[in-house]
Amino acid sequence: MARVSVRGRRRPLRRGRRRFDQGFWIRVAAVAVAVVLAGAIVVAVRYSGAGLSGVSSGQSSGLSATGPLAPDFTGIVDWENSAPLTMDSLRGKVVLVDFWTYSCINCQRTFPFLRQWWDRYQADGLVIVGVHSPEFTFEKDVGNVRRAVKDYGIGWPVAVDSNMATWNAFSNQYWPAEYLIDAGGHVRHTNFGEGDYDATERDIQTLLAASGHKITGPLATGDPGITADASSETPETYVGSDRGDGSVAFQGAWSQQPEYEQLTAVGAPGSDIASLPYKARRVYMVAAPAAGPVTVHVTIDGRDLLPAQAGSSVHVDAAGRSTVVVDHDDLYSLVSLPGFSEHLLQLSPEQPGFRLYTFTFGS
């Protein structure tokens, strides 16, 4: 998840997903080795090739005076909430293109802000187009995307970019990513990752006013920022042969696949476990069933979750046992604690076919 992008104002970091690029990480590793051998200290690495060049981003104030023409929507396999759109058909409108993928918690946290902008400025000429570009294979399925659009109450047009053609046309690298386009079709502002909602809304207002609309009143949204604890929370942790780094320990009959680990057979009760030490307030997982629903026992520090500690996907029964039912490919909310702290999370599936993709965290 476009993990951390260092920025110079208001918050210590940005949160979002970044597309996995094996070649990029090989290059970064080579550079890091060279730096170590030279005795230098690496302070920060930021990928400079993300997104269209020549436009302002959330790291600077104000809009660019000009910008490149926005690429058209390319290779779209389905449209939700709209007939097919083109950039030419949207001339005269202010367009916010939002790249997202439905199992990304960083993307989900942007939905309330996008919804407020859609409700407030749609009548004044703002068009939001959500471009759903998948991170995992199951996110390419149009039925899954359609269900997510309904479940999350997304009312603006959604372009299903299952082959990443529009993503590549924009040279995008992040989930979420916003490209703000003026009435003439030029990209004037970009923002990668969570945050800068107030700045983005001010730029929406500026472009709407420039296109002849009278915008008055306070901003629809306030930017809550990111807590200081977020700088020390556990980073997103993948499993599978493509990106797994061994942080998650597996006990039992697990089969490693490129994107996930799958429990293939069930042993004695409680013997099939995925364990991860972490630091955060909230814990989420991306998971899926291979066939039918799978019940997963969820504990922290060897104990069941209390109702006040359980994420929204977890059920705590009358006996105090905390479980989550994984019945479709999605993001599941596991833990929600009042304070930032360190714990051991353990998952114990009760049926075979449980697929675990990644853990992500919130503070």
**Is 133's pLDDT higher than 60?**
yes
The domains of the chain, with CATH numbers, are 49-210 (3.40.30.10), 231-362 (2.60.120.260)
Give the pLDDT confidence score for residue 66 in this predicted structure.
Answer: 82
**Is 9's pLDDT higher than 90?**
no
Give the pLDDT confidence score for residue 227 in this predicted structure.
Answer: 73
> What is the identity of the amino acid at 7?
R
In this predicted model, which residue has the larger pLDDT, 63 or 268? 268
- pLDDT category at 57 given cuts 50, 70, 90 is low
Give the pLDDT confidence score for residue 26 in this predicted structure.
Answer: 40
Distance CA 235, CA 252 (A): 25
Residues 112-123 have pLDDT tens digits of 999 999 999 999
Under 8 Å CB-to-CB from 214, ≥6 apart: which residues? none
- pLDDT category at 320 given cuts 50, 70, 90 is very high
- pLDDT category at 62 given cuts 50, 70, 90 is low
**Is 1's pLDDT higher than 80?**
no
Over residues 27-44, the mean pLDDT reads 34
Over residues 337-351, the mean pLDDT reads 97
Give the pLDDT confidence score for residue 355 in this predicted structure.
Answer: 98
Read off the pTM: 0.84
Give the pLDDT confidence score for residue 65 in this predicted structure.
Answer: 75
Over residues 42-59, the mean pLDDT reads 42
Give the pLDDT confidence score for residue 39 in this predicted structure.
Answer: 35
58-65: long-range contacts at Cβ-Cβ below 8 A with a sequence spacing of 24 or more? 58/7, 58/14, 58/189, 58/190, 58/191, 58/192, 58/195, 58/196, 58/199, 58/200, 59/7, 59/8, 59/9, 61/199, 62/203, 63/180, 63/188, 63/189, 63/203, 63/206, 63/207, 64/188, 64/189
**Is 19's pLDDT higher than 90?**
no
Give the pLDDT confidence score for residue 18 in this predicted structure.
Answer: 60
- Give the N- to C-terminal CA distance of the chain in Å, as an integer: 15
Residues 193-238 have pLDDT tens digits of 998 898 999 999 999 999 888 777 777 776 666 677 888 999 999 9
73-77: long-range contacts at Cβ-Cβ below 8 A with a sequence spacing of 24 or more? 73/129, 73/131, 73/159, 73/161, 73/166, 74/165, 74/166, 74/168, 74/169, 75/161, 75/163, 75/164, 75/165, 75/166, 76/159, 76/160, 76/161, 76/165, 76/166, 77/142, 77/160, 77/161, 77/162, 77/163
Give the pLDDT confidence score for residue 63 in this predicted structure.
Answer: 76
Over residues 125-143, the mean pLDDT reads 97
3-class DSSP assignment, residue 263: strand
**Is 47's pLDDT higher than 50?**
no
Give 104-161 as a DSSP string.
-HHHHTTHHHHHHHHHHHGGGTEEEEEEE--SSGGGG-HHHHHHHHHHTT--S-EEE-
**Is 171's pLDDT higher than 70?**
yes
Over residues 104-109, the mean pLDDT reads 95
Give the pLDDT confidence score for residue 56 in this predicted structure.
Answer: 53
Dihedral pair phi/psi, residue 90, rounded to 5°: -100, 5
Give the pLDDT confidence score for residue 253 in this predicted structure.
Answer: 97
Q: Where are the alpha helices (DSSP H) in 163-223?
A: 165-169, 197-210
Give the pLDDT confidence score for residue 140 in this predicted structure.
Answer: 98
* Average pLDDT taken over every residue of the chain: 85
Nearest alpha carbon to residue 295 among 317, 318, 319: 317
**Matching residue, tokens 């060897």:** 302
